Amino acid sequence: MLSTGDFKRGLAILVEKQPYVIDDYSVQTPSARGAATLVRVKARNVITGQVLDMTFKAGEKFEEPDLERRKINFLYADGDDFHFMDETSYEQFHMRRDALGETVRWLREGTTLRSIVFEGRVAGIEVPQFVEFEVAETGPGGRSDMASGKVTKSATLSNGTTIRVPVYLEAGETVVVDTTTGEFVKRVGR
């Protein structure tokens, strides 16, 4: 059994028989005497991908979900069906677009990913934090970000996703994108 004292980023817990992975947490100690210490958690449902804010009393107990992560390979997309292969057992399976959510935009044929298996069935997939894509086309000019002082322009990647990139990038170049934020990280060396 896990308690709120064990919480850390990336820890998986069962809440109402649903597996969640903790993205962030904070401990709130009240100033009033006798009031309970609270633990606020931002957690992502492994099955649905939904992110929830939850609050628990300090010391509350949780079961650890039976989660297994396996290496898989993205084979191809057929309409709204996305086909994968387990790299260990070579078993193929597919998932619907609606079950994959936002991760669909970061899939590229031949990419190695990880599947999340809950109670013997694939509940979701995890894409790497950084992926490489070719820039298919770039927009004109640039727009200044006042906070950072960077000048960026719109770029469409080979998968159809639009991101902001520095003005010096041109179509045909390869870039690294952070899948958690959808932002440009760096240009891949020529």
Residue 30 is part of which domain span?
2-62
Domain final residue, candidates 47, 62, 77 = 62
Check whether residue 7 and residue 56 sit in a common domain: yes
CATH number of the domain that 54 lies in? 2.30.30.30
Domain final residue, candidates 82, 101, 126 = 126
The sign of the torsion formed by the CA atoms of 16, 72, 42, 60 equals positive
Check whether residue 35 and residue 73 sit in a common domain: no
Supply the pTM of this predicted model.
0.68
Total of domains in the chain: 3
The sign of the torsion formed by the CA atoms of 95, 98, 100, 102 equals positive
Check whether residue 45 and residue 88 sit in a common domain: no
% pLDDT > 90, the chain? 18
Domain final residue, candidates 106, 126, 146 = 126
Task: Answer for the pair 143, 152: CB distance below 8 angstroms, yes or no.
Answer: yes
Question: Tokens 């609606």 belong to which residue?
Answer: 98
Helices (H) and strands (E) in the chain, counts: 1, 17
15 SS3 class: strand
Check whether residue 107 and residue 137 sit in a common domain: no
Check whether residue 146 and residue 179 sit in a common domain: yes
Confidence of residue 141 (pLDDT cuts 50, 70, 90): low
Q: What is the pLDDT of residues 80-138, one digit of tens each?
A: 899 999 999 999 999 888 777 778 888 888 889 998 888 888 888 888 889 899 999 98
Check whether residue 31 and residue 49 sit in a common domain: yes
Average pLDDT, whole number, for the chain? 85
110 SS3 class: coil
Between CA 148 and CA 160 the distance in angstroms is 26
% pLDDT > 70, the chain? 95
Residues 6 or more apart whose Cβ sits within 8 Å of residue 102: 49
Check whether residue 146 and residue 165 sit in a common domain: yes
Residues 6 or more apart whose Cβ sits within 8 Å of residue 111: 73, 74, 127, 128, 131
CATH number of the domain that 181 lies in? 2.40.50.140
Between CA 20 and CA 40 the distance in angstroms is 14
Q: For the CA atoms of 160, 162, 163, 166, what is the dihedral angle to 10 degrees?
A: 90
